[in-house]
Structure 1
Amino acid sequence: MPVTRTTPPGRQPLARTRILDATWALAAERGLAAVTMRAVAERLGVTPMALYRHIGDKQGLLDGLVERLLGEIPLPDPELPWPDRLEQLAQGMRAVARAHPDLFPLLFERSATTEAARRPRDAAYSALREAGLKEADVERAERMLSTFILGFACSEAAGRFAHVDADTEFTYATEALRRVFVS
């Protein structure tokens, strides 16, 4: 007779989303260093081994956090002109950095590996192609832009621009970058 597994009454079944919710809460409360398989499992009331089939390992937890951070960036309307799409992506990234200043630096450390995490990058690729970049340059240009925006957003969230108007500084920088892409 096959063995059937049931979830005890009052307990939600273990799933990737639930694991990532617990990981997000743990990281927001205690910092990224607190994120371990054991700590997440304790928060969920399961053994660490129970997480592996849903998330893989700790790297899967961190990839899930990256996915969540990047998933908060609203994707621009693809019908907008390319500069407006890039501007919206950048403003969305700045908003995420301000909302999650302690988690945001994770984007410097990890690549976007899941499909959901790659959506903002893919939207930037589309805008850069429309801007007329050669296909061979699109990936490098996006990497340069995202590094600039990540750095600016992280610096802004940490208070680096407290003595100046961050929006004015950002506009100055994005206008300079736009001249590079249009020339």
Structure 2
Amino acid sequence: MTHPEPAPRPPLTRDRVLRTAIALADASGIDSLTMRKLGVELGVEAMSLYRHVANKVDLLDGMIDAVFAEIDLPADEADWRTAMRRRAISARTVMSRHPWATGLMESRATPGPATLRHHDGVIGTLRGAGFSTELTAHVVSVLDSYIYGFSLQEATAEHLLQPGYDRGNEFLFGLDLILDGLERSRHGA
């Protein structure tokens, strides 16, 4: 009796390494991610990973860049407020899928192409809407602080309000308050 040969394992690539690392971090948290565990998950020795990522820092940089790639970029045709609202909602959704990433999103010393494309899209939308350079910096800081802070709080704290409380409604309420204030600042009010 002959046994069928096992299906060939897909080739090891940087993308496969990063996607597997993200899945492990999603399942067990970033602190539990080691090169050894990643190698086991991929069916290779940990040393094989170093052909695709230089070290753990490069792995984390790549993982964060992949997370940024999941966030919707501001659309060219949308007005700034709609674009920033859509981007904020998308970022919160992505961070809820990858709660480990929230604290690392802006800490990478070597941002990847998706991260740079994301920031360029946000800044370009704001500058195109007439925000000054200084006000654009403020807008990005305020929005990202709100998005990351809300996502971090959502990932680490239970809300003790009545049954049926919807954190999504809370997020949108705060986001709209911020966007209203930014609109007033944009017009010098």
- Residue equivalent to 2:71: 73
The 1-side partners of 2:51 and 2:65 are apart by 18
Give the TM-score, by structure 2 length.
0.78
Per-residue deviation, 1:61: 1.4
Per-residue deviation, 1:23: 0.4
The 2-side partners of 1:131 and 1:51 are apart by 44
The 1-side partners of 2:26 and 2:154 are apart by 19
Shift in CA distance, 30/161, structure 1 to aligned 2, threshold 3 Å: closer
Paired-residue identity, %: 31
The 2-side partners of 1:136 and 1:172 are apart by 21
**Residues matched between the structures, number:** 176
Pair 1:176-2:184 in alignment: no
Structure 2: which 5+ runs fail to align?
A: 1-5
Alignment partner of 1:46 out of 31, 41, 44: 44
Structure 1: which 5+ runs fail to align?
A: 1-7
The 2-side partners of 1:64 and 1:56 are apart by 11
- Residue equivalent to 1:4: none
The 2-side partners of 1:112 and 1:181 are apart by 31
Shift in CA distance, 182/35, structure 1 to aligned 2, threshold 3 Å: farther
Per-residue deviation, 1:136: 5.9
Shift in CA distance, 75/162, structure 1 to aligned 2, threshold 3 Å: farther
Shift in CA distance, 135/155, structure 1 to aligned 2, threshold 3 Å: same
Judge conservation of contact 2:81–2:179 (CA < 8 Å) in 1: no
The 2-side partners of 1:155 and 1:177 are apart by 23
The 1-side partners of 2:110 and 2:118 are apart by 10
Q: CA RMSD in A?
A: 2.7
